[in-house]
Structure 1
């Protein structure tokens, strides 16, 4: 296994702060004292930029392309498990792990007993669709605020009078996932390009106020470049350069006294070893449904079939994946040290975490672009789990 595939097993996670610690640290900063958890200084206004797909290992490997980001490096934190956008953003906004907030991956079951048998629906949390990313809307089936009932840190900040502004693509406003993850209406400024993000942040901070302000900005293009062309590809490197220029612009144009905090929701690995669940031997025998993402699969088995499925899958995946039953997953705190009973029921009867450059595909079920793309994330490698925390007081 290559160095880039170095794993951070759950037993190694205690030494890292996570994305769930970022907003509580910003809350400390609003209280006029530096956080004891993360190096965020006392601040009146904070701009929090999430660059989708900005991994610490990839930034280290391409530091010369991103001098601004590299100079701002304050710490390295862990995204959380699984290292995927839906889980990470919800953890960031709620200030807690998915064991409590319940968005346990890209896709999962929510009501185990209700979805057994022929109705075995799963929820794609990022798209808020049924059964697959291109499926029908799930809004009529799953109320976002019920699936994710934890208000958490962002709600607490807003309740104490912090002004919240979102600067991100307009299509995300009011989506099922946004309702689940953010839980605060705030002010929305649509922004797609780096220039629009810089203008939106500037606009949000242009009016004088005595209240604290949190401006959350989000840019998805680095993640898209990694998925489509591979992390570290020329297209990805060009996009990283655009991120660096955007952050430099934000730092130079924000009002004096503003703190700029930049982080990512996960890193990424190049995957070239495909094990196809839909066409390999009889991997679906005894299985009701398979969800999750290609680096972390949730396997829901038929009653009484779990042990046979586990034995069969183990023979197929071998050392290419960690495979464990739900009881072991809970005991080893894969989804956090605190997992509510409701969330525990969402976890698969078996969970498979891909190792090295392996992905567990579903060629007949997942949309073609997802199956064929080279860049993936979700699992335990340092390249996926570790993200940079970049901080600058303007």
Structure 2
């Protein structure tokens, strides 16, 4: 099977730093021995701004609409696999790939549910719900700190006295995913609009303190515009302009002893080829559950059925997807060089990675708004995997 030149196969990943390298670089900036491949200047305070959906390829294509982002761009890194928010943010905060922390996608099976067979549930990690993003809350059964038991680098930094502040929408505070990804309570400043974010960062940095401070800020609207209207659409381009002005405003107000680091959790592609699992004859034969997202599917098969399912899915999907068994996924280190036994059990018996602009839909099982979205991410294309790193040292 020939590869698209736009695809970053696992064998090509070693040349890129990832989101898991960003927090170690910030830790270096706070005075630790330099170990990271993402150089950040020594700083007393760091503001880490994550723009959901800010892909490097999309930024290249629309550089004229984002002069500040383009001017401050320092490096291009890889989101990690899969290129999706739940995995990327957890990797960013843990300073480790998902083979260690265990949030291996938008949704997956865990080893925590004692129910086996067809009734065994999947966990939507971003919404912390059973089976679907609009399903019943899973907090009663799936304790976030048990599903993601590794405190990670953020907790280690906090334990060394680095003060942590979150500037994010109030709705995320205390959610299942937030508990799994952000293992430090920190100070929480509710912020929904760019003006809120700017004010929240200012408030976090205003008090005089001898301690190092990490301010993590997050804005979801670029990702939302891409999903709803398509990446590169007029609505998306308008939102990119808002991001550019926000970053310019933060940079202009940044104190002299602080550094601004901006990155994204994934890019995005416009889907134009849909292959539906639920309405393709016998696609679910021998399958207990399908999880993940429409660009990367975890396929959990019935005992003894994996080889037949593998053959059938490979025939149906053809050149539109890679379909490989768990052993190959582990051997090629898709989820990182070290995958714990617990995490390995969460990976599908088969993993299907869509190619080009294909999505693998479930029109009967997934919520219609998700199925019908034009913008998607998760897989191996450069448009999904590559994200920029922007750095600005304060001058105020």
Q: TM-score range by the shorter chain?
A: over 0.9
- Mapped partners of 2:171, 2:150: distance in 1: 24
Matches within 5 A, 1:283-362: 283-362=283-362
2:66 is matched with: 66
CA deviation profile, 1:85-109 (whole Å, cap 9, x unmatched): 0000000000000001000000000
Whether the 8 Å CA contact 1:86–1:103 is kept in 2: the answer is yes
- What TM-score do you get using the length of structure 1 for normalisation? 0.98
Task: For residue 120 of structure 1, report the CA deviation from its aligned partner.
Answer: 1.6
State the superposition RMSD in angstroms: 1.5
Whether the 8 Å CA contact 2:24–2:36 is kept in 1: the answer is no
- Mapped partners of 2:16, 2:73: distance in 1: 15
1:245 is matched with: 245
2:95 is matched with: 95
1:48 is matched with: 48
Query: What secondary structure does 1:365 align onto?
Result: coil
Query: What secondary structure does 1:39 align onto?
Result: coil
1:105 is matched with: 105
In structure 2, the CA distance between the partners of 1:113 and 1:154, relative to structure 1 (3 Å rule), is closer
- What TM-score do you get using the length of structure 2 for normalisation? 0.97
- Mapped partners of 2:115, 2:171: distance in 1: 30
Query: What secondary structure does 1:207 align onto?
Result: coil
Matches within 5 A, 1:73-88: 73-88=73-88
Is 1:172 the counterpart of 2:172? The answer is yes
2:221 is matched with: 221
Task: For residue 119 of structure 1, report the CA deviation from its aligned partner.
Answer: 2.4
Farther-moved stretch of structure 1 (121-130 vs 30-39): 30-39
Whether the 8 Å CA contact 1:47–1:258 is kept in 2: the answer is yes
Whether the 8 Å CA contact 1:34–1:42 is kept in 2: the answer is no
Is 1:120 the counterpart of 2:120? The answer is yes
Whether the 8 Å CA contact 2:113–2:120 is kept in 1: the answer is no
Runs (5+) with no aligned partner, structure 2: none
- Mapped partners of 1:79, 1:389: distance in 2: 11
In structure 2, the CA distance between the partners of 1:51 and 1:181, relative to structure 1 (3 Å rule), is same
Whether the 8 Å CA contact 2:162–2:213 is kept in 1: the answer is yes
1:21 is matched with: 21
- Mapped partners of 2:119, 2:322: distance in 1: 28
Aligned residues: 393
- Mapped partners of 1:303, 1:112: distance in 2: 19
2:258 is matched with: 258
Task: For residue 256 of structure 1, report the CA deviation from its aligned partner.
Answer: 1.7
Whether the 8 Å CA contact 1:112–1:346 is kept in 2: the answer is no
